[in-house]
């Protein structure tokens, strides 16, 4: 079978885009917000994930997406801890639960409890966004 002789310019109606930020050596009992990204399209946040560069020896870290600097109610996720998710964790947000408008600023918040200990490891957080590209 031969290759197609003509290339068509087709864009999908949506594209999953990862917005990634790194929190450098978060300390115990801290809540830190990362600078955000302006989204030029309507969107849905589909999930959050976290990866620690060092094993979590003690404590718990929660990760939340932020929209225009605030954590949407009910969207804080315990992703890193000393028992199960010692290096990584992820949470899926059902479609239609966290929808936003073009021009919103999406960021991330990391909060650690008083026992948090990774011996100075960094935590990389990704906010997974479905950008709605209809009309582009």
Q: For residue 104, what pLDDT is reported? A: 97
| Per-residue pLDDT at 127 | 97
pLDDT in tens, 105-125: 999 999 999 999 998 999 999
Domain boundaries, the chain: 14-132
State pLDDT tens for residues 61-87: 999 999 999 999 999 999 999 998 999
Section 87-110 average pLDDT: 96
Residue 40: which residues within 8 A CB-CB, separation 6 or more?
Answer: 102, 103
DSSP conformation letters of 30-98: -EEEPP-EE-SS-EEEEEEEEEESS---B-EEEEEEEETTBPPTT--EEEEESSS-SSEEEEE--TTSS
Class of domain 14-132: mainly beta
Q: How far apart are CA 86 and CA 73, in angstroms?
A: 26
- What was the pLDDT predicted at 14? 85
Q: Binning pLDDT at 50, 70 and 90, where does residue 35 land?
A: confident
> What is the average pLDDT across 2-14?
64
């Amino acid at each position: 079978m031969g290759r197609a002789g003509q290339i068509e310019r087709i864009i999908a109606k949506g594209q999953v885009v990862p917005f990634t930020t790194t929190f450098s050596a978060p300390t115990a009992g801290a809540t830190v917000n990362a600078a955000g990204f302006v989204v030029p399209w309507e969107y849905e946040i589909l999930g959050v994930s976290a990866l620690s560069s060092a094993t979590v020896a003690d404590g718990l870290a929660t990760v939340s997406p932020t929209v225009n600097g605030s954590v949407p109610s009910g969207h804080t996720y315990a992703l890193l801890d000393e028992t199960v998710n010692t290096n990584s964790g992820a949470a899926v947000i059902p479609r239609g639960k966290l929808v936003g408008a073009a021009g919103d600023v999406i960021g991330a918040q990391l909060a650690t409890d008083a026992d948090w200990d990774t011996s100075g490891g960094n935590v990389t957080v990704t906010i997974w966004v479905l950008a709605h590209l209809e009309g582009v």
